[in-house]
Homo-oligomer: A and B are copies of this chain.
């Protein structure tokens, strides 16, 4: 065959190429699924975007559905990493402020993930039923208890903790999910750091004031 001596400049460690390809495919799939929806995104288009032949995508993910679920699971992991921001520390204002800012930041750094998650929920969450019931609901229950404790201790105005969290979720994720609308209205091409900071300031101040707290700093 061909000379095979000094051409091993690339280290063919098992798993390295695999991880790289998986990453490429998952990234490409995320984009395509957001842009075209599940049915509208073709494996061919995903493969093209990833720079791989179509059959290779099928090698890593047996079916389109599997690939879609894998993308969603990646998102869930990302979401869960930010789950425990809301702890029963001493100062509600600080905790809520930090929670809101993390959410805004996440919308800024991972807009595609937020969008795909939103689309899945809008369509009735056919692939996330179990996640919602078995993971998200228990988490909410715990966090609601924390907020209720704050209310009981007179540390903040009496509010329904569930709706407070819905308010935080919706208002923060809005800037990722409705990016096209927000940017058009504000006549901007894309988000900038300064705009994101102002959004976080505004939301933190408004929401905290809404529950009788003053934003820190």
Contact = CB atoms under 8 A, between A and B. Distances in A.
Interface of A: 34-40, 115, 118-119, 121-125, 129, 132-133, 136-137, 140, 157, 159-160, 162-164, 166-167, 169-171, 173-175, 177-178, 180-182, 184-187, 198-199, 202-203, 205-212
7 contacts: A35-B124, A37-B39, A118-B122, A136-B184, A159-B202, A169-B174, A169-B178
Contacts of A202: 159-160, 163, 167
A180 B118 contact: no
**Copies of this chain:** 2
Contacts of A175: 166
A123 B37 contact: yes
A49 to B, nearest CB: 16
B170 A185 contact: no
- Top 4 closest pairs, chain A to chain B, by CB: A39-B40, A37-B37, A170-B174, A206-B210
A167 B192 CA distance: 19
A185 B132 contact: yes
A132 B187 CA distance: 11
Given A119-B119, A170-B174, A198-B160, A140 B39 contact: no
A167 B172 CA distance: 9
Contacts of A122: 34, 115, 118-119, 177-178, 180
